[in-house]
């Protein structure tokens, strides 16, 4: 069975490297070590904010890709109704799947499917800024 951890749980990526995702799912017998540390994450979720988006997409994602048990990395956008799922495939290649408002998010690592609208109920998005030519 799997267990969900909130943002208080840290994920150990190496002997000396820890991160605090917004949510983590582990389905391992050795799912956590001392101090509520997740050792074998299967899925990690980050809720993007303007101040953390660059780190979540860049260095943090690079760190997560080093974790052999991680199968999916989910980014939930707070500026528009969009969910991105990075899925590990053959030869350790990661593929991006993008889900928008009227679609269902599919998390193969958990055999789970749910509508994007379920994540954004009662959410009011900031107005879109016009593109600068």
Instruction: Quote the number of domains for the chain.
Output: 1
Q: Has residue 133 been placed in a domain?
A: no
Please write the tens of the pLDDT for every residue from 75-123.
Answer: 999 999 999 999 999 999 999 999 999 999 999 999 999 999 999 999 9
pLDDT at 13: 86
pTM of the model: 0.90
Spatial CA neighbour of 2 closest among 60, 68, 69: 69
User: Dihedral of CA 9/13/17/21: which sign?
Assistant: negative
Task: Please tell me the predicted confidence (pLDDT) of residue 87.
Answer: 98
Does residue 28 surpass a pLDDT of 90? no
Q: Is residue 14 part of a domain?
A: yes
Q: Is residue 11 part of a domain?
A: yes
Question: Tell me, what's the pLDDT at 31?
Answer: 58
Residue 15's pLDDT band, with cuts at 50, 70 and 90, is confident
């Amino acid at each position: 069975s799997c267990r969900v951890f909130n943002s208080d749980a840290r994920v150990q990526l190496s002997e000396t490297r820890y991160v605090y995702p917004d949510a983590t799912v582990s389905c391992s017998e050795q799912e956590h070590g001392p101090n509520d540390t997740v050792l074998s994450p299967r899925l990690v979720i980050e809720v993007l904010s303007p101040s953390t988006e660059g780190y979540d997409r860049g260095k943090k994602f690079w760190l997560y890709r080093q974790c052999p048990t991680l199968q999916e990395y989910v980014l939930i956008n707070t500026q528009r109704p969009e969910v991105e799922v990075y899925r590990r495939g053959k030869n350790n290649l990661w593929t991006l799947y993008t889900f928008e408002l009227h679609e269902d998010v599919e998390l193969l690592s958990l055999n789970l499917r749910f509508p994007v609208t379920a994540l954004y109920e009662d959410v009011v998005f900031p107005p879109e800024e016009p593109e600068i030519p």
